[in-house]
Amino acid sequence: MGGPPFSDDNAAMIAAAGAIAFQRGRRDSLFLDADPSLPLSEEGWL
């Protein structure tokens, strides 16, 4: 279980997810857009 510093919103958790995606070869284009309703169960989330 992560420690208390990572319980609230933080960027380390984004990096943790990003690192797994990076390792698995995912790359997003510069056309990437913000999605305020991004579903949790989207395909290819990592």
Partner 1 sequence: MILAIETSCDETAAALLAEGRYAVAQKVASQIPWHRPHGGVVPELAARRHMETLAPLVEEVLQEAAITWGEVEAVAVTRGPGLVGSLLVGVQLAKGLALSLDRPLLGVNHLAGHLLATHLAYREKGSWVEPPLPRYPAVGLIVSGSHTDLVRIDEEEGGGPGRLTLLGSTRDDAAGEAFDKAARILGLSYPGGPAIQEAAGRIEPGEPLPAFPRPLLGKGFDFSFSGLKTALLYWWEEEGRRLGERALYRAAAGFQEAVVEVLYEKTAAAMGPPPPTLSWWRWWPTAGCGKGA
CB of 44 vs partner 1, minimal distance in Å: 10
- Asked if 42 and 17 touch (Cβ cutoff 8 Å), the reply is no
CB of 4 vs partner 1, minimal distance in Å: 8
CB of 15 vs partner 1, minimal distance in Å: 4
Q: In angstroms, rounded to a whole number, what is the distance separating the alpha carbons of residues 10 and 3? A: 12
- Asked if 6 and 12 touch (Cβ cutoff 8 Å), the reply is yes
Number of residues that bind partner 1 (CB under 8 A): 40
Binding residues (CB under 8 A) for partner 1: these are: 1-3, 5-23, 26-30, 32-42, 45-46
